[in-house]
Amino acid sequence: MSLFGTFPGSSRGPAHAAAPKDHVVGHQFSPYDSNGGSIAAVCGSDFCVIASDTRQSTGYNIQTRYKPKVFRLNDKATLATNGFAADAEALVSRIRQRLEMYRHAHGRSMPLHSIARMISTMLYGKRFFPYYVYNILGGLDEQGKGAVYSFDPVGSYEREFCRAAGAAQSLIQPFFDNQIMFRNQSDTPERKVPTPGQMTLPEVLKIVIDSFTSATERHIEVGDGLEVFVVRTPAAAASAEGDQAQAATGAAAVDLNTLPSDAPFSVAEAVGGEDEQQPGAVMVIRRELKKD
């Protein structure tokens, strides 16, 4: 018997009746998932704040209440990822490998703008089967100024003052546009509209924390905990470089443990990365959000 005659509906060999339509079973598979959560970053003149919630979910199911989405890369760079958690872990692992190879080859850490270009190239190289993650890179550039780079899943990126991504992007980004970029505001005789990027560290922290608190009230995929990473030049390093004014009045002079808060919080050194950590360069503030 012809091999082709064994298939239903074949034009060769014995005829076979097609299976009834009510017996047909469809099978679907997607290699991707959306695990909720939100990330955001805001930069200032000499600091950068990168934040995320800690909830990981699929639809209405909470998989874990503590899944970090912000990762320290070195003293000048921190990466926030959001989307498919497995792709995020794979991407961060590859980035850290590349940064370690660069440090061994050049004897120094890769600067922030080079990390941004490298991430863009890595994402674009996977464009036909992309990492399903939205990334925000925050830190200090080579002049010591705060910088935020936002990426789409296939590598397009730009430098900005602030950016939000994830499930609550539509809630957080308009708030940033008004309160940080000062859009849709007009000068008055009593008050001029400030220039974006000139806010102090305590002001930015208050806005970022308030934005996530509000998003938690309005979105079921955001909540449980908040991690806020602060990247800055430590006071000791600023003094050693001779910038006494920055050490005395800039972000380096802010004591994160004494910030006003309506909820308990903790402050600790951020860990991870390929370099030797400088005390005070990257700090993380942790506090709880609503858990329902």
Residue written as token pair 């296939």: 154
- According to DSSP, residue 9 is labeled T
Contacts 24+ apart (CB under 8 A), 185-193: none
Residue of 229, 237, 270, 233 whose CA lies nearest to 251: 233
- According to DSSP, residue 281 is labeled S
- Percent of the chain topping pLDDT 90: 69
What's residue 240's pLDDT? 53
HSE-up of residue 146 (Cα within 13 Å, Cβ side)? 30
Calpha distance 174→163 (Å, rounded)? 10
What's residue 21's pLDDT? 63
pTM to 2 decimal places: 0.86
Domain containing 238: what range? 38-289
Residue 50 lies in a domain: yes
| 140-177: pLDDT as tens digits | 999 999 999 999 999 999 999 999 999 999 999 999 99
- Residues 180-207: what's their mean pLDDT? 91
Reported as a pLDDT band with limits 50, 70 and 90, residue 16 is low
Cβ proximity of 87 and 133 under 8 Å: yes
Residue of 216, 209, 171 whose CA lies nearest to 50: 209
Residue 126 lies in a domain: yes
Mean pLDDT, rounded, of the chain: 89
Residue of 218, 204, 183 whose CA lies nearest to 292: 218
| 57-78: pLDDT as tens digits | 999 999 999 999 999 999 999 9
Residue 3 lies in a domain: no
What's residue 19's pLDDT? 55
Calpha distance 5→176 (Å, rounded)? 66
Residue 31 lies in a domain: no
Residue 253 lies in a domain: yes
3-class DSSP state of 244: helix
Question: 24: burial class by Cβ within 10 Å (0-12, 13-18, 19+)?
Answer: exposed
Cβ proximity of 234 and 278 under 8 Å: yes
What's residue 118's pLDDT? 98
Residue 116 lies in a domain: yes
Number of structural domains found in the chain: 1
CA 196, 201, 203, 205 torsion-angle sign: positive
Domain CATH for 150: 3.60.20.10
